[in-house]
Every structure is written in C-alpha cells, then in structure tokens.
Amino acid sequence: MTGTPTSRERIVDISITPVAFADPPLLNAVGVHEPFAIRTIVEVITDSGTYGLGETYGDEAHQARLTLAAEALIGTDIFDINHARTRVDEALAKDSSAGGHGMSGMITDSSTLDRVFSPFEVALLDLQGKKLGLPVSELLGGRVRERVDFSGYLFYKWAGHPGHADDRWGEALDPAGIVRQAEKMVSEYGFRALKLKGGVFAPDQEAEAIEALATRFPEVPLRIDPNAAWTVETSNRVAERLASTLEYLEDPTPGITGMAEVRSSASMPLATNMCVVAFAQLPEAIAAGSIDIILSDHHFWGGLRRSSMLAGIAETFGMSLSMHSNSHLGISLAAMLHLAGSTQNIDFACDTHWPWKNPEDDVVAGAPFHFEGGSLEVPKAPGLGVELNRDRLAALHQRYLDCGIRNRDDTGYMQKLDPDYQALAPRW
Ligand code: GKR
Ligand code: MG
C-alpha cells in the first residue's frame, strides 16, 4: 500500500541577513573578542510561504559565498538536499576569493562547500520538519536523548571592553578569577562539566587554574583548550601535570603530527576542533593516531546530516564525539540540540558560548531555551522548533550596520590595544 503523495515545495526566495550582538572581552590564543560578534541569518522561503532558518558565520567573504549559493538554490525542492548541495558546489566554482572562515584565523582548513552549504541544509531540514509536522531530530533518525548536556565554557577575560563599563561577569585573569567565574556559571546554569579556554597565559598558570577548579569542583569533569598554543614538549609537560585532573585535553598543539606525538605519551584522551575540521583530514589523522575525540560542529562539517555521517565515521574508527562552539544565537543552538539529541555517540557535554551573550540579543522569538542541570531539552515542535522574531532580526541587523565590524578579528582588536601583540602558534 502506498501513501498519499505530498505536493512538492520549492524554494522561491532566500534572504541573507548579517547581524551583530554584544560580546564580552573573552581572551584566547589569537587575541580577544571584539565588542560585537557577527553572524549571518539565512531564511529560505518556499512557494507555500513557509520559511526555514539557518545561522552561520558573519565574515564578508563568507556572506558573499552565501549569496552566490542562495541564487543557485532558487527552484530547488526542499526534500532534494543532495541536489541542493551540488548546486551550491557548482555556484562556488565561480568564487576565487579567500578567507571568510569566521574563526579569527584559528580554524582555516574547513571545507568551503561544507561551511557554505551548512546553513541552507539546516534551513531545508527546518522546512521539511514543518511540512511533515516533525522535529528535525526525527528527520535525523530520532532522538536518543531528550536533553543535551552542555559544559560551562570558562574564559580569561577583562572586566569589560576598554573604555566601557564592566560586564556582569567581571574580570578573570588568574586562577581565583576563573574559579569565581565557574561558580557563577554553575550556579546560574547548573553545568556539570567545565572547559577552560587556555592559550592566554603561561601554561603553568593555566594548569594552576585547572587545579583550582578541581579543588573547588571535585566531581566535575574538566577540560582545557589552548587552541594549539603549546609545543609538543610543553603539551607533554602539562599533560603529565594534569594527568589525574582532565577529562580530556583539547588541541594542545598544532597539526595532525604534533597531536599524534602528544597523544602517544598523554594519559588522557586528546580532542580536536582544529587539526581535523573536514572529511579530507580524517584518513591522515586516523592513520597517525592523532585524536580520541572529534569536536563536531555542523557549521563547518556541512550541516546536520553530514555531522551524522561524521558520527558514523567516528564510531567506526573507535573515536568519540563532543561538540564545538563559537559565539552563536538561538538558531544555531536549536540545530545543535537536534543533532546532539539524535546522535548516539555524543559522549561528552557539548560546548556552547550561550551564557556569554545577553538573553535579549537574539533573533528567535520568545525565550525557548531553559537550562536545568546544565542541560537543555531537544525542541519538540516541527522543524527546528524556533521561530524568527522579525523586530529583533531588524534590530540586530541595524547593530551590524552600526558596529562597523565586518570580519571577526580577535588579533586585530588586541593589536589596537597592544601594538606588539602577535598571534603565535605555538606560543609556549
Ligand atoms: O570563542 O574565542 C573563542 C573560541 O576560542 C572559539 O573561537 C574556538 O573556535 O571555542 C572554540 C574552540 O573550542 O576552539
Ligand atoms: Mg577547541
């Protein structure tokens, strides 16, 4: 017996809207976050008048590629994701520009096609879910968990942007400051895992911060991520010092070979969102034995279905998965929840920058996310389960126009304040 065929639904319009939202002065291995983080909101509209949403980086070169892709996607059936990807691939063949990775120089090897196609794929899944009355998690094979655990993402930071009032988090420039920040994050969000963004101060000071966290939160799994700021020797030394303290060590040193060297002597698992960020890098990294854990990220792994494919590859080769994040808004968070909610081998609490933005700075309607015990529920409404608030979209777009930031540039911002600053990898 066959079912009733549904009518086809095709893309008639796509809008690409850059937005900006306030971001605190978070320090990392390449500098410091600028006063505003930039993102792009992708809205795909069909001939039935329905819209699907995606969210991605805001850098100018990336936006130009999104526009090329959007033009190529007009007329595509919302269920024809494979064909849509081919169209975007063909459209990008006309592009010879460089840059636009959205990562301030930290991660530049991701696949351009996967990075550009991702928000369209998410929007198509949102549309499919709306048409079928099913949440995206069910289009990805069904939920394996109803709630997704997140880690509290700790950053060294200044009290406020230079020349501006202190933000609500205050200063964290030493172990005591990091512990204070962790206490606030745990009390507000209930996180049951903590990650420290390192690569800012000398490795021993950062190791001391991890030890202070371990003393204050003895039951909480801890991670540190210096974004490849350490040499192999330094990484080995810190790994030995923190052998009994870390759940995993994230990107201590640059490159597939360097990571393999550290992994051969470190006792804890090694994770990456830097040396393996594209399918093409997997064979070499697996052969070299560089990593135990891949931090997946649908924004650069080609969307949600390709991230599910990555999960299958990780399972096949005995690697675990966790999830990477950058400064993001609610559309990205919803997509992350559907992915993590339907991926069996997400074995660790996922990263999110969510606490670092003001709650009212978003483009989604209402306040759909409620942390309990550091976890969020996977949305159950059709599609992504979030709707656009057009007033807020317009306001954040206006802020983008006003703020003058056109590419994420943590190093350039730091150099305005400290002209001698250099982003070095490795630095120690
Ligand atoms: O937001 O400064 C930051 C982070 O350093 C981010 O850009 C990284 O991509 O969180 C990320 C990571 O895990 O490497
Ligand atoms: Mg990382």
126 and 218 fall within a common domain = no
Is the CB of 408 within 6 Å of ligand 1?
A: no
239 and 357 fall within a common domain = yes
61 and 152 fall within a common domain = no
DSSP string covering 326-386: -S--HHHHHHHHHHHHT-TTB-SPBP--GGGS-TT--SBSS-----BTTEEEPP-SSBTS-
Residue 76 within a domain: yes
pLDDT at 408: 97
Q: Whose CA is nearest to atom 4 of ligand 1?
A: 326
161 and 298 fall within a common domain = yes
**CA 140/CA 179 separation, integer angstroms:** 38
Which residues, other chains included, contact 59 with Cβ-Cβ below 8 Å and sequence gap of 6+?
38, 99, 100, 101, 102, 406, 407, 408
Domain count, the chain: 2
DSSP string covering 138-169: HHTT--S-SEEEB-EEEE-B-SSSTTS---TT
The dihedral sign for the CA sequence 329, 221, 251, 337: negative
Which residues are the active-site residues? 197, 324
Q: Whose CA is nearest to atom 14 of ligand 1?
A: 227
CA 129 to ligand 2 centroid distance, Å = 31
pLDDT at 163: 96
Residue 364 within a domain: yes
Residue 281 within a domain: yes
Q: Which of 399, 299, 275 is nearest to 18 (CA)?
A: 399
390: left (phi > 0), else alpha (psi -120 to 50), else beta?
alpha
232 and 113 fall within a common domain = no
Ligand 1 atom closest to the CA of 29, numbered from 1: 5
15 and 29 fall within a common domain = yes
Helix (H) or strand (E) holding 274: none
119 and 179 fall within a common domain = no
The answer to whether residues 278 and 292 touch, using CB atoms and an 8 Å cutoff, is no
pLDDT at 284: 97
**CA 180/CA 199 separation, integer angstroms:** 20
Is the CB of 326 within 6 Å of ligand 1?
A: yes
Helix (H) or strand (E) holding 52: strand 51-57
The angle formed by the CA atoms of residues 52, 56 and 62, to the nearest 5 degrees, is 120
Is the CB of 343 within 6 Å of ligand 1?
A: no
Coil, strand, or helix at residue 417?
helix
Backbone phi, psi, residue 395, to 5°: -65, -45
CA 133 to ligand 1 centroid distance, Å = 35
131 and 244 fall within a common domain = no
85 and 228 fall within a common domain = no
Ligand lying closest to the C-alpha of residue 356: 1
- CATH number of the domain enclosing 286: 3.20.20.120
Backbone phi, psi, residue 418, to 5°: -140, 90
Is the CB of 322 within 6 Å of ligand 1?
A: no
82 and 68 fall within a common domain = yes
pLDDT at 1: 47
CA 60 to ligand 1 centroid distance, Å = 19
Residue 201 within a domain: yes
Give the residues of the chain that fall short of pLDDT 70.
Answer: 1-6
Residue 421 within a domain: no
Is the CB of 261 within 6 Å of ligand 1?
A: no
Is the CB of 229 within 6 Å of ligand 1?
A: no
CA torsion, ordered 157, 267, 307, 354, to nearest 10 deg: -20
121 and 240 fall within a common domain = no
Q: Which of 98, 109, 428 is nearest to 255 (CA)?
A: 109
Ligand 1 atom closest to the CA of 250, numbered from 1: 13
Beta strands in 218-272 (DSSP E): 222-225, 246-250, 270-272
**CA 76/CA 222 separation, integer angstroms:** 45
Which amino acid would we find at residue 130?
K
115 and 147 fall within a common domain = no
Is the CB of 28 within 6 Å of ligand 1?
A: yes
Q: Whose CA is nearest to atom 2 of ligand 1?
A: 28
Residue 419 within a domain: no
- CATH number of the domain enclosing 36: 3.30.390.10
Residue 1 within a domain: no
Ligand lying closest to the C-alpha of residue 102: 1
Residue 239 within a domain: yes
Ligand 1, from 326, 351, 408, 413: best to mutate by most atoms within 8 Å of Cβ? 326
pLDDT at 167: 97
Question: Is the full-model pTM beyond 0.75?
Answer: yes
The angle formed by the CA atoms of residues 247, 250 and 255, to the nearest 5 degrees, is 145
**CA 29/CA 43 separation, integer angstroms:** 33
Ligand 1, from 106, 109, 253: best to mutate by most atoms within 8 Å of Cβ? 106
Coil, strand, or helix at residue 222?
strand
Residue range of the domain that includes 342: 138-385
Identify the residue whose tokens are 């597939």.
256
- C-alpha count within 13 angstroms, C-beta hemisphere, residue 164: 15
